[in-house]
Amino acid sequence: MIIDVNAWLGGWPFRSLRDNTPEALVARMDRSGIDVAAVSPIEAIFHRNVQPANERLAEAVTPFRGRLIPIATLNPTYTRWEDDLKACHEKLGMKGVRLFPAYQGFEVDGPVARRAAEACRERGLAIFIPHRMEDPRQRHWMDPGKVVDPAQIASLVAAVPGLTVIVPNLRGVARSALWKRPEVRDQPWYVDLSLGEVHRDLGTFVEQGGASHLVFGTHLPLSYAGPALVKRAILPVDADTLEDISHRHAAKILGL
């Protein structure tokens, strides 16, 4: 079984995407051998009031509830973010929360992020903080093209003990503060396979004991599934650990 923690629906404003509807994404998953995907609406990244996008997501995935798991987008700079979080969790049945500090204008380790993180921890919800959405070297001029500093994420993890954090699209995890800072090394944070390199990064990370922090993710449909599937196939781990990475860690995170 494979659970993808890093997938999306909707449109990216700076280039066209394929397979970005629920039906098309599930068909792509079927072709790639992916059983379940955690999805969020791309357009919500750019909205001040994200809740209408969350509500559309909940409606869109209803026919695919066994395959597509809705992950809310939260804008903690918006006045009613706490109401949005409550509605997403209690009414819409969402299984986690995505934050986008590079687009929403707050510091990952600042008070705004900490309040949101504490609220999610109280509800038992993981937060997803993408390191990047696209390679900033090829960004559109209207895209801020910023990456999130892993050192700031490590500080957030340290400030909110017990918070589950997933950092999709991260490169260099073996060199990052998440792994190097001893007080956060054993906290429940995870990185996915989407953009990391096995030979330069993920392989070293596994050899140093980091496999318990890995989950499967593709970044579909902004990226292809193939690279993550190849990395999964060549990771230097035993069969049981591979099952953890492929679906067990994600199932625990998402409460499946």
Nearest alpha-carbon partner for 4 in 28, 39, 30, 31: 39
Number of domains in the chain: 1
Residue 132, domain CATH: 3.20.20.140
Per-residue pLDDT of the chain (256 residues; tens, 9 = 90+): 999 999 999 987 777 889 999 999 999 999 999 999 999 999 999 999 999 999 999 999 999 989 999 999 999 999 999 999 999 999 999 999 999 999 898 999 999 999 999 999 999 999 999 998 877 777 777 777 788 899 999 999 999 999 999 999 999 999 999 999 999 999 999 999 998 888 889 999 999 999 999 999 999 999 999 999 999 999 999 999 999 999 999 999 999 9
Which residues form the domain of 154? 3-254
To the nearest 10 degrees (0 to 180), the angle between helices 51-61 and 81-90 is 10
Q: Does the reported pTM lie above 0.85?
A: yes
